[in-house]
Amino acid sequence: MLTPKLTAIRLPGIQRGYEPEQPIRFSHRLHAGEMQISCQYCHSGAERSRHAGIPAASVCMNCHRFVTAPLGAVRAEDELAAKENRPPRRVIAPELRKLYDALGLDDDLRRDPAKPQRPIAWVKVHNLPDFAYFDHRPHVAAGVACQTCHGPVETMERMRQVADLTMGWCVNCHRDANRTGIAGHPVYASIDCAVCHY
Amino acid sequence: MSRRVMLGFFEREEDVLAATRAAREAGLRILDVYTPYPVHGLDRAMGLAPSRLAFVCLILGLFGAVFKVWFEFWTTSVAWPINVGGKPWNSLPAFVPVTFEVMVLFAGVSTFLAFLVVAGLRPGRAPVMPDPRVTDDRFVLMVEETDSVFDAVRVEQLFAGFRALHSEERVEARS
Amino acid sequence: MSAEGANRYWRALEERGAATAAEGPDEFAARREGIDLFLSRRGFLKAAGFGAAGALLASCARAPVQEAIPFLSAPEEIVPGHALYYASTCAGCSAACGMLVKSRDGRPIKLEGNAEHPLSRGALCAAGQASILGLYDSHRLRSPLHRGQRASWEEVDRAVGERIATISKNGGAVRFLSSTITGPTIRAEIDRFLGSFADGRHVVYDPLSCSAILDAHERTHGARVLPRYLFDRAEVIASFDADFLGTWIAPVEFAAAWRAGRDLEAKPPRFSYHVQIEPLLSVTGSKADRRIRIAPRELGPALSHLAGLLAKKAGLTFSSPPPADPELSAALATLADRLWQARRRSLVVCGSQDVATQVACNFANEILQNYGNTLDVERPSYQKQGNDRALQELLSEISAGKVAALFIAAANPVSELPGGENIAAALDKLPLVVSFASHRDETADHAHFVCPDHHPLESWSDAEPVAGIISVTQPVIRPLGQTRSLVETLSTWRGRPTPAYEIFQASWRSRIFARQSQETSFQRFWDRAVHDGVAAVEPARFSPRPFDVSAVKPAAPAKAGAAEGLSLVLYAKVAMLAGQHAENPWLQELPDPISKVAWDNYACLAPATAAALGVAEGDVVRLDFGAGSLELPAYVQPGQHDGVVAVALGYGRKGTARFAGIGPRWLDAEPSVGRDGLVGVDASGALELTDGVLRYVREGVRIAKTGRTRPLACTQTHHTITVPDMFAANGSVRRPVVQETTYAAWQGNPAAGREGEEAESEDLWPDDHPYNGHRWAMAIDLTACTGCSACVVACQVENNIPVVGRDEVRRHREMHWLRIDRYYSGSQAEVDVVYEPMLCQQCENAPCETVCPVLATVHSEEGLNEQVYNRCVGTRYCANNCPYKTRRFNWFNYPHQDPFANLVLNPDVAVRSRGVMEKCSFCVQRIQQAKIEAKQAGQPVADGAIQPACQQTCPAGAIVFGDLNDRSSRVAAAVANPRRFRVLEEMNVRPSVNYLRVVRNRDETDGEKSHG
Amino acid sequence: MAEVAWLVRRPLIVGDKSVAQVTRDICAAMETRPSALWWAGFLAALSLLGLGVTAISYEISTGIGTWGENRTVGWAFDITNFVFWIGIGHAGTLISAILFLFRQRWRTSVNRAAEAMTIFAVMCAGIFPLIHMGRPWLAHWMFPYPNTRGSLWINFRSPLVWDFFAIATYLTISLTFWYVGLLPDLATIRDRTASPWRRRIAGILSLGWNGSTRTWQRYEVVYLLLAGLGTPLVVSVHTIVSWDFATSLIPGWHATIFPPYFVAGAIFSGMAMVLTLMIVARKTMQLEDYITPRHVDIMCKLIIATGGIVGLSYATEFFMALYSSNPYEQFVFLNRATGPLCWAYWTMVSCNVLVPQLLWFRRVRSNLVLVFVISIFVNIGMWFERFVIIVTSLHHDFLPSSWVSYRPTCIEVATLLGTFGLFFTCFLLFVRLVPVIAIGEVKAVVSHDKLSGGTHA
């Protein structure tokens, strides 16, 4: 009863609103919002493991092997090429360039043995304390929408922590789930300590 | 405005006690009696009504107890019922000790604070007293010179009748 | 695994939030960064600890930035945070049990028995469970050594190659010394390598030798074979000093079989009769139905006499004089009768190293027609191949300097054999000594080259423990150092460098594929073998010669002359074995099942002997045997023969110097090592290698007090369930915490031996806590439990339980969540032993929960007694109020002494910080895992889907865990068993752990026996 | 007036004092320079305190492992000291509150010091529940405050929580009671002292007290009420402390006799401590006229009485154990008397039951040195009583497999000494800064003596 009021103000240790700079300016708004790519296309771990996981660069390449720059830029280059009647050059957006560099690809997106492969060090946004065990699988299985905890990701240019991820926040959601069910169908979300702490 | 008061200074408990009784019979208006230690019967002699601090103590004590019982019940059976050692949600007997302690705490502290308020005691307040020796071994009886019929001389004799060391008249400012 | 694999592995770590990728020149440093991250659990708890301060900090500054570094290209099988299991083979000893390696994010973190393995049947022993720590041992050699200096493989190959070349040119004896290697491929490779020399020979020895058994069979069956013993088929077992449940040949396989032979729940029930005749109290002896103490020198004559008795029954003319002790001869007579009644279904085993005795043993089995029934020489075991005669010859060759090149693999002769220093000196004289040791051990110090082999979890290998059963070892992680597989090294020196993988595949294609018929395509066969971890093929058949009775000679009766002085018996402990695991802190801290002493070896004396000598436990005594002397603390061991002093092998290893600083450091702390800086005392000097056998017994040993004392780290100070009479009013001296009965009584009444009424007393309170969903419970069959302590180590590995060191154990602060209480009953001399595994009983009315002020331990709606570490403030009230004393408190921070070992931590279990209480959770992480998977599959949790670490590894299958609300579950059946009882039931705490009464195969029908 | 008649026999304050004299005598202790004796005692106490602080900081920074406790004996010195000090505290409240209700006027000379003793003892006691925690920095979790854990409250079923509330309340009420009693005397100091800073401080603390009868009247009501509250409180506190053990199921702890047994024991030990202090104080601070042999005599009698109850409790416990055919219960007590830790048990019995019997003789009671020695013995004995109850019950409990021994470490001993350091430091400061005797009350007694003397002579 007191808890909601308390969490309304940011208490010590609560990282709500954390929105760190990322190595590549990846836009969830563009991918999840405009392009309507489902969350689990990239974060496929969510239904197979406790971690949703951050997609491997190879997953990005599924599309970005072909999409190398915004449509506008490509059109412009085509027109320019037509004008100068030469084959259009491949346009590579600066942010995607970082991805290709990480994979050690050359301009034709072929593996360049000279270039080293460097994994991309994303900055973790949602951090739970190590003594709290969280597992995505049961939540996905129960049909909890990603937005319930991660907020309106599809509107975020840069990923931001929306929920404050306190124990009270978890527990109250579990309580509500038991009362109202999830997406209509009844569920049972235990609030035993040993669900998260062991 | 200000008022005139007549002070009688005594040395012994029984003298001031008797003097107070006499003064009261003589229809004098006794403002206060200052003593180094509590003198038995003096309050009756002055005709003071018994203190009502006991009620404060009772009420707040009860409040503390009731509040605590409710709180313990609420936390263990309503807010978040957790199975502790197979005990029932509402383990009333186990709540008794804390309830008692909280009752005593509320009662005691509130009575003390109430006392400070009604007695007008607060840190840094300058003591209003006729003679610093009151806190040592002086007994002072203070009567008000009510109206023109007040006869200072008679009062002085009355005091002297009870072995008063001396008496004096003072004007004290009243807010 | 491809080269990419390694980097994947390390990135996979970071997926869990590690620091940086492990690349660049010093890969190792990078790993250390990786390690800090594993400390971060503890780190966090600590930080979280500094309550106000921590909060203040957090409110000023954001939490430290954590990076998540995904794969560049994800391998499809690896899902971060998802555990994979790979079938492999345990290399803890030569028994070669099958196992599954639990690999988390490419990091092996747990070994579990492989249920599909025909020998170990899903179990592992303590040593096997602990062996995973060896992978993350920072003391392992990470590159070859040349004269003790780090060298590159190129240099070593060149140097060794040159020497080999000269040898094969000018000739010269080349010897390959190893302990038993059962792998057909490796053996073939070694032979191939030796084949390239004129005089090359492979000499095999076992520090715990069974050479005499093989020699005996050479005499009686014409071939040096070790029969395969089938205890499950034996109805009467007579074991002459063979510790087959503890350390003898293949304890896990034998324990499983032995257990199968005594199954009271089977229809009809079967219960073998097991007689143990031994000088000291072994694990096996502690489980025997009839146990006879015997002086070592009496053993041979006794067995020979038994053979004689049987021969008479069989109408053969063979007689051997009865032993002096009339009691013993009477016992032997009755034993002979029972054996004879159980012809073909009986088994006589003998652990003696005296060939004549072993021959008598064979003779007995032959008379009883056990060959082909309960022991098999046609499909023999390869688990012990040691040939002590060959070893002796080799040693004389070496000391004579007749060896041109000596290669030593999987053996440490300098520390394992008598006269180690002489051997060392001789080695220094040899022109070429190459060791394949993974550590700078005693022998490696005297080798010109040390070419470290992979850890078994890093390399391909195979094993054929028993003819026809071949199990595969596959790598589950890329080598952590610049080590190289033995076969690869040999192939390189042969001039044809080949990757191990190819060598093994080739060998299987040529040798093993041919020996089976199910699969037609080799690839399919190989894939299945690698997947299952084991393949059944045709054994290399050989038909033994018919039994040669002429070989049998009646043993001369023990000479009374040798009676002066004590006989020193050198034995092996289940944890240390011959010492190959001496550098494993888990095993050092594992209390010995019998003595309950950790971190030391000691001189076991019978109570009577100790009293006669005026020696008390902890007094340091000096043992004088001809060749030298030993000084170690005494331990009073009930049930041991009065004429015996027993000392464990495998201690005082050079490598144990690393434990000098283990455990918490504070002003009153004492080191875990002795005065010589090592753990325990090396007793191998007392071994004898004479006329072709390695002997573990010495006669005429004199013993004297030194006046010094060394208190032992013993986890159990009171050894009986009976309280001293002075403390027992009105005669109630025995505490009903363990219940037992006899087979005869049980047959009459399955509930025989019950003490006190098992009555669920009415509840005082409204029933606020119905258990509607699951109701987890456990049942432990005390009849089956052999006390082998595999469960204790399994629990330690699974639950990140720290090692606290000798001093803390001595202060009774060991951290094991699961302990095995061992109680003696009977007289001081003739003891009965009961093992009672004691773990958190998960009481329904848990006394610990009521008293916790901060709700750090409460009850779950599935009947679990939860302990929330991060909520605990550490008042210890719960531990005080626990009648079973199963709660463990973090008195200090207990980091891994070797930070590299943090890689073995189980990421699903929090590492507890200083000042919090911890305890058994029924492996709740496994429960949650199974529930989540069931939820995903939309099915109920199947019975047996959840196995706590202890149940999973138990060789005797004594532990059953499951859901009581599932009426069909095994645990529900166990609870319904009339043998079931609960400890301290009368207190109505309602434990969820049930025990099944101990049953001994005896004739007294009064289940109660006097406990003194 | 009954007590007047009673007073006739012997005056409470000897050496026929005038009211002014009383003020002078008592304030003298604070106005003169401290004696060398005082300095010696103070420095000794201070160094002990230093030792304790060192030990405690080492323990908190390194771990509870620096104590001798183990998996079976989870409490030892820590809780022993806690119960010991709480017990000491109780005598103070008894003297000031309970005897006040019983109108025992002799208390006036000792109640101030006794109350001070209570407060300091409770301070010492309070340390232990805090530092015995594995993670003392999380002690605030013992208090039910709204939190972001959804909201996770505390376990009101746990005796430790009861303890927490009991101790907190006890300390608060004792402080209030003490302060109320101090008000008039602070005023006295304010009005007579020469030093300006002392006047300023006394002025602030006395809250502008002027001996007005109106205030005196309310003052007496409050004092009575607080005494009335304090009396059940002091009983409840040690009852709850005893429940820490009584509500558990450890044989030797799980006993219904504990509450009365503990309360009696507490008063017993407290009286002994009061005697110890008083005898020292009257010697060192020339208060012979105020703390007369009669005070000592009365307290000795109280010690015999409470000591008797304690001895009876020991016997009852033992009898009940043997009478209950519960093997565990029986074992624990036989083990106490004859087991490995029997020396502690017999120390306890001889100090608490045998030694006090000497006080039956008036000659002993009137020999202050002897009384002093006996009081020390009782203090020791009562410490061992708690040690015996806690350690011998734990170290051999249900399962023989987990039987262990216990040996304290130097850190534990240092911590115990440290609390004595804290106690005496506080007490020695107290005798310098505050009137050790309730001036106001003594004046009343003095004039009463005069009055009754006058009328009856």
Q: What is the pLDDT of residues D152-182, one digit of tens each?
A: 999 999 999 999 999 999 999 999 999 998 8
Q: Would you mind telling me the total number of residues written for chain C in this entry?
A: 1012
- Give the model's pLDDT for residue D13: 64
Min Cα separation D215/chain B (Å): 6
The answer to whether residues D302 and D102 touch, using CB atoms and an 8 Å cutoff, is: no
Counting Cβ atoms within 10 Å, is residue C512 exposed (0-12), middle (13-18) or buried (19+)?
buried
A83-128, pLDDT tens digit by residue? 988 888 888 898 999 999 999 988 888 888 888 888 899 999 998 8
Exposure on the CB side of residue C938, measured as CA atoms within 13 A: 3
Kindly list the domain boundaries of chain B, sorted by start residue.
2-50+127-173, 53-119
Q: Closest residue of D to A171, CA-based?
A: D150
Please give the Cα distance from D377 to D195 (Å, whole number): 42
Best to test chain C binding among B72, B87, B95 (most C CBs inside 10 Å): B87
Chain A residue numbers with beta carbons less than 8 Å from the beta carbon of C58 are 12-13
From D334, D390, D456, D433, select the one nearest D38 (Cα to Cα).
Answer: D433
Mean pLDDT, rounded, for D135-145: 92
Rounded Cα–Cα distance for residues A18 and A36 (Å):
25
Whether residue C923 is predicted with pLDDT greater than 90 in this model: the reply is yes
Please check whether residue D20 touches B, CB under 8 A. Answer: yes
For residue range B66-121, list pLDDT tens digits in order. 999 999 999 999 999 999 998 888 889 999 999 999 999 999 999 999 999 998 88
Check the CA dihedral D208-D211-D217-D220 and report its sign: positive
Closest residue of chain C to D142, computed from CA coordinates: C854
CA nearest to C323, candidates C333, C338, C336? C333
pLDDT of residue D451: 58
> Which residues of chain C neighbour B88 with C-beta distances below 8 Å?
765-766, 768
Question: Residue C322: is its pLDDT beyond 90?
Answer: no
Indicate whether C2 pLDDT > 70. no
Confidence of residue D12 (pLDDT cuts 50, 70, 90): low
Q: Which fold has domain B2-50+127-173?
A: Alpha-Beta Plaits (3.30.70)
pLDDT mean over A41-51? 89
| Probe site for chain D from A3, A175, A176, A191 (most D CB atoms < 10 A) | A3
Q: Do A130 and C20 touch (CB under 8 A)?
A: no
- Which pLDDT band, with edges at 50, 70 and 90, does D112 fall under? confident
Global confidence as pTM: 0.90
The interface predicted TM-score (ipTM) is: 0.90
C859: chain B residues, CB-CB within 8 Å? 82-86
The reply to whether D220 touches chain B by the CB within 8 Å rule is yes
Contact at CB, D213 and B36, closer than 8 angstroms: no
List CB contacts (< 8 A) between D147 and chain A.
3, 6, 168
Burial class (CB in 10 A: 0-12, 13-18, 19+), C933: middle
pLDDT at D446: 72
Minimal Cα distance from D246: which residue of C?
C881
The Cα–Cα gap between A140 and A111 comes to 36
Residue C171: which pLDDT band, with cuts at 50, 70 and 90? confident
Average pLDDT, chain B: 86
Averaged pLDDT of chain C: 87
Could you tell me what percent of chain C has a pLDDT over 90? 71
Residue of B83, B90, B91, B92 to mutate, interface with C, max C Cβ within 10 Å = B83
Which chain C residue has the Cα nearest residue D131?
Answer: C875
Model confidence at B127, pLDDT cuts 50, 70, 90, reads confident
φ, ψ for residue C332, nearest 5 deg = -65, -40
- Please give the pLDDT value at position C754: 84
Asked if the Cβ–Cβ distance from B84 to C848 is below 8 Å, we say no
Interface residue C847 vs chain D (CB under 8 A): yes
- Picking from D23, D151, D444, the nearest residue to B38 by CB comes out as D444
CA distance C909 to C913: 13
Q: What is the pLDDT of residue C733?
A: 77
pLDDT confidence tier of residue A169, bands split at 50, 70 and 90: very high
pLDDT of residue C528: 92
Taking CB atoms and an 8 Å cut-off, how many pairs form between chains A and D? Answer: 33
pLDDT for the residue numbered C45: 39
Residue C11 has pLDDT above 90, yes or no: no
CA–CA gap between residue C490 and residue C174 (Å, rounded): 13
Candidates B115, B139, B163: best to mutate against D (most CBs of D within 10 A) is B115
Higher pLDDT: B126 or A150? It is A150
Give the pLDDT band (50/70/90) at residue D14.
low
Condensed to tens digits (0 to 9), the pLDDT of residues C468-522 reads 999 999 999 999 999 999 999 999 998 889 999 999 999 999 989 988 888 889 9
In degrees and rounded to multiples of 5, residue C465 shows phi and psi of -60, -35
How many CB atoms are located within 10 Å of the residue C464 CB? 24
What average pLDDT does this structure show over C336-340? 94
Residue D374: its pLDDT value, please?
93
- Helices D19-31 + D159-192 axis angle, to 10: 110
Chain B CB contacts of D173 below 8 Å:
104-105, 108-109
- Give the number of other Cβ atoms within 10 Å of residue A164's Cβ: 18
Mean per-residue pLDDT for C307-311? 92
- CA C471 to chain D, closest CA, distance in angstroms equals 41
What's residue D418's pLDDT? 95
- Phi and psi at C915, nearest 5°, equal 85, 5
Residue A178, both tokens: 């038991």
Q: What is the pLDDT of residue D91?
A: 80
Tens digits of residue pLDDT in C417-461 = 998 899 999 999 999 999 999 999 999 999 999 999 999 999 999
Q: Are strands C98-104 and C83-89 parallel, antiparallel or unpaired?
A: antiparallel
Which chain A residues have any C-beta within 8 angstroms of a chain D C-beta?
1-3, 6-7, 11, 14, 164, 166-172
**Which pLDDT does position C32 carry in this prediction?**
36
What is the mean predicted confidence (pLDDT) over C253-268? Answer: 92
pLDDT confidence bin for A7, thresholds 50/70/90: very low
Q: What is the mean pLDDT of residues B21-29?
A: 84
Residues of D in contact with B84 (CB under 8 A): 155, 157
Q: What is the pLDDT of residue C27?
A: 35
For residues C676 and C660, is the Cβ–Cβ distance under 8 A? no
Q: Which of C763, C769, C988 should we substitute to test contact with B (largest number of B Cβ atoms within 10 Å)?
A: C769
pLDDT for C37: 36
φ/ψ of residue D266, rounded to 5: -60, -50
Average pLDDT score over residue span C849-871: 94
pLDDT at C760: 63
Specify the amino acid at residue D352: N
What is the band of C65 on the pLDDT scale with cuts at 50, 70, 90? confident
Q: How far apart are CA B133 and CA B122, in angstroms?
A: 21
Q: What is the pLDDT of residues C117-157, one digit of tens each?
A: 999 889 999 999 999 999 999 999 999 999 989 999 999 99
Sorted by where each starts, the structural domains of chain D and their CATH numbers stand as 2-453 (1.20.1630.10)
- Please write the tens of the pLDDT for every residue from C977-1007: 999 999 998 888 989 999 999 999 998 775 4
Query: Domain residues of chain A, as ranges?
Result: 24-54+122-196
Which residue among C766, C859, C860 places its CB closest to the CB of B85? C859
Closest CA in chain A for residue C84: A49
Average pLDDT over residues C11-18: 34
What pLDDT is attached to residue C530? 93
pLDDT of A17: 85
Digit-coded pLDDT (tens) for A142-154: 999 999 999 999 9
Q: How confident is the model at residue D414 (pLDDT cuts 50, 70, 90)?
A: very high
Binned at pLDDT 50, 70 and 90, residue D437 comes out as: confident
pLDDT in tens, C394-406: 999 999 989 999 9
- Chains touching chain C through at least 3 C-beta pairs below 8 angstroms are A, B, D
Contact D348, D384 (CB under 8 A): yes
**pLDDT at residue D455 tops 50:** no
Single-letter amino acid, residue C237? I
Q: What is the pLDDT of residue C560?
A: 56
* Phi/psi-derived region of residue C410, left when phi > 0, alpha when psi is between -120 and 50, beta in every other case: left
d(CA C791, CA C132): 15
Per-residue pLDDT of C604-620, as tens digits, reads: 999 999 999 999 999 99
CB C140 within 8 A of CB C485: no
- B37 to D152: CB separation less than 8 angstroms, yes or no: no
Structure confidence at residue C9 (pLDDT): 33
Dihedral sign, Cα of residue A98, residue A103, residue A107, residue A108: negative
CA distances to C182, C350, C351, C356 from C212, in Å:
19, 10, 9, 8
Tens digit of pLDDT for each residue in A86-98? 888 888 898 999 9
